[in-house]
Chains A and B, each alone.
Chain A
Amino acid sequence: MTHIDLKNKYSELKDFLGIISILAILSIILSIIEPRFLSPYNLRNVLRLSAILSLVAYGEAIVIIGGGIDLSIGSIAAVASVLTAMVARSVGIVPGFACGILTGALLGTINGVLISRFRLPAFIATFGMLVYAEGIANYISRGAPIEFMPEGFGVLGSGYLGPIPIPIIISVIVFILAHVMLSKTPFGRYLYAIGGNEKAAWLSGINVKRYRLLAYTISGLLAGLAAVVLTSRINSGQSNLAPSLPFDAIAAAAVGGLSMRGGYGKIYQPVLGAMIISVANNGLNLLNISSYIQMIVIGGVILIAVSWDNLRRNESFMKLITKIHRFRQSEACRN
């Protein structure tokens, strides 16, 4: 089957509007079914959580655009969380935060080195990291959450700057940086090139190894940042901080319309995807639906979102859709 390029100027706008409308419809339905959704407390909560999720979604998106995948962000976050808590308790809050972010960057770099220099398949390297990083996190923390954080530790996650929760500000800053990086800098352009056609990118002189490495470092760093914010929010370091994080990140990217093949994608996609996922999760929580169903839903969402993305790019399928559409239109005309 052939792969079409959705390079039509209007198709991007259509995609954007499509996703925004999904978010809007979801929110509207939710507010009707459960009015508590619209309470300021809940809305702030949802925004806060979606801000945190969008941080890792950016990282995942950057890696996917470059043609790879990062499954380890959950475990990287776990290690970062544990280390942040321990350092914050013994040395200080700010060193703790810095430590968490740096840990994330370090682990991400390890991934990047294995993948770019040793040519390990992205999946294996990050999957291996998922496993042994979790082991490291558990080992350091001896399997128990780290509590009794110093005063002020929770500022980053639960605090406000004026009326706006801090995580949202962080997320907006990262969004702007990521957008500039992807669309204006050479790095961004190279990333799209590598994701689109690695061989061609390499032949045109792009240092594929270096930029791949950078992509994974960034992903790790953002996972560390998300971990720091989340750890601050719950005021304790945990080795099972967010076990579903990689799924949520991939689902966020997929729902937002990011193509899993790499080489395509805009930075607003994971943001919108993160918001949709957070709203959906929040809705399921409010409706008291079992968290097991949430797992089922996330899994189903990933499958459906990626299938839809693939089908959209498939020529025969789109021809079929247009035929049906035109047939229906002519029926309407005749009446």
Chain B
Amino acid sequence: MNILKLRWASLGPLAVLLVLWGIFSIISTNFFTTDNMWNISRQASALILASFAQTFAVINKGLDISIGSIVGLVSVVTAMVSIEFGVPEGIFAGCLCGAVIGATNGFFISLFKVNPIITTIGMLSLARGMAFYITDGMPVTDMPYGFDWIGSGYFGSIPVSAIIAVIALIITMFILNITVIGRNLYAVGGNEEAARLAGININFYKMLTYTISGLLAAMAAIVMSSRANSGQATLGYGLPLETIASVVIGGTILFRGEGNTARTFMGALIITTIGNGMDLSYISPYIRQIILGVIVIVAVLVNQLRSKK
């Protein structure tokens, strides 16, 4: 691999992170404390998982806009099943739900050849509507004991959700870089026609991409619901933008068939740090939204300039 690319890919986002730490520690004395650092890691875990979901779609040269709505739907499904049957059953149901929605996306994208962006836009509306419909807009509360362990629990002094995020990182890196499935995913994303001619089953891998995406989104939903100790249909509203932001800030260029969960991991950390820092600095949430939107555009521009060198 080109040494120059390697250096930017791994050091660029890291440098940005360090600079951010510097800026925010100056603005707010509360920033650089152990408590806040663990806070950031807990906040970041859900975004990391959701951004991994987005990464798979990006590798396939598409985007998954429905991630936020999948999170909302899985949140309520997990909560409701947990109340009826128990927490492990709830988690299983949630993951299944996410995988099914993802597979539906994949179905339309692969078999009916619908543009992934349009498909996931349609699914965004559909899934969100379902989530609201099942709960009539009310949050699902009275969760059984143990439901909040994943989101708020600790393993020693390390938050459980942070551990889950790191495990997800290891597993996805393994799949993408070492297994044949990963290689084929990159092949299908990079040049679909060439992959088809090489004998790879395009439809299967497209379905797989979006199913994995749905599954990871489900995991993010479980972490978030556990943290809030309730199931909410409104969860995940900002996720489509935040996950794309994470992918892009991590250095990935969109619509190229490239992508890498390690880079996305860094990107998600940066986004969470920015959010956390802004919270501590009492900046209006509206300003925060404006800044986030602008950051995404700037990051994409920077990436594009970089790729032209």
Contacts and interface: CB of A to CB of B under 8 A. Distances in A.
A71 B241 CA distance: 12
Looking at chain B, what size class is its interface with the partner chain? 35 or more
A135 B119 contact: no
Contacts of B296: 124, 127-128, 131
B24 to A, nearest CB: 20
Contact of A296 (B115, B129, B244, B290): B129
Given A131-B289, A138-B286, A306 B129 contact: no
Given A121-B254, A135-B293, A295 B286 contact: no
A302 B105 CA distance: 12
Interface in A256-314: 260-261, 290, 292-303, 306-307, 310-311, 314
Nearest to A295: B129
Interface residues of A, number: 48
Interface string A99-131: 000000000000000100011110111011111
B198 interface: no
B178 interface: no
A121 B304 CA distance: 10
A69 B112 contact: no
**By CB atoms of chain B within 10 A, which of A71, A128, A134, A296 has the most?**
A128
B284 interface: yes
Nearest to B125: A299
B122 A295 contact: no
B92 interface: no
Interface in B205-244: 240-241, 244
Contact of B286 (A124, A135, A250): A135
Contacts of B300: 120-121, 124
B5 interface: no
A126 to B, nearest CB: 10
Interface of A: 1, 69, 71, 114, 118-121, 123-125, 127-136, 138-139, 143, 244, 247, 250, 254, 260-261, 290, 292-303, 306-307, 310-311, 314
7 cross-chain pairs, A with B, having the tightest CB-CB distances, nearest first = A299-B126, A295-B129, A132-B293, A299-B125, A135-B289, A302-B122, A296-B129
